[in-house]
């Protein structure tokens, strides 16, 4: 299952002194894409939280291929790598406005009960999406 965001523009506050997107912002781009994708699947994150489920990131990987700079436009492609169990894995590719892949990444999120902070199996409301 894939999803690609609309065009996103790099803002000045997302760059470092060299005008290049600071590495910390890529996880925010990934989160934006992931949450937007869940909304498109009719499973907004607020609905997940209403069901006493939270999804903390427990692992992440980034590979930078080309820099994004202030003023660039880009899209994020997100893909759920495998069927969720007690965690869910997402893969990401970022493409600049010229269609060049600039970044590859992956995040692993765990399903937790928000009251007890204990791990959960993937809830049916989410597994049904896959």
- Please name the residue that has the structure tokens 């909304």: 39
- Please name the residue that has the structure tokens 């590495």: 23
- 3-class DSSP state for residue 124? helix
Contact 125, 51 (CB under 8 A): yes
The single-letter DSSP state of residue 118 is -
CA distance 20 to 27: 15
Catalytic residue among 16, 72, 93, 128: 16
Catalytic-residue membership of 16:
yes
DSSP class per residue in 35-65:
HHHHHHTT--HHHHHHTTEE--EEEEEEEES
Active site residues: 16
């Amino acid at each position: 299952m894939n999803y690609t965001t609309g065009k996103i523009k790099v803002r000045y506050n997302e760059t470092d002194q060299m005008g290049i997107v600071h590495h910390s912002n890529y996880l925010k781009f990934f989160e934006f894409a992931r949450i937007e994708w869940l909304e498109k699947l009719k499973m907004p994150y607020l609905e997940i939280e209403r069901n006493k489920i939270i999804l903390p990131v427990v692992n992440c990987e980034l590979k930078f291929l080309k820099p994004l700079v202030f003023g660039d436009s880009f899209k994020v492609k997100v893909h759920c790598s495998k069927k969720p169990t007690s965690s869910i894995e997402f893969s990401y590719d970022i493409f600049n406005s010229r269609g060049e892949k600039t970044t590859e990444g992956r995040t692993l999120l765990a399903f937790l009960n928000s009251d007890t902070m204990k791990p959960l199996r993937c809830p049916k409301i989410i597994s049904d999406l896959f």
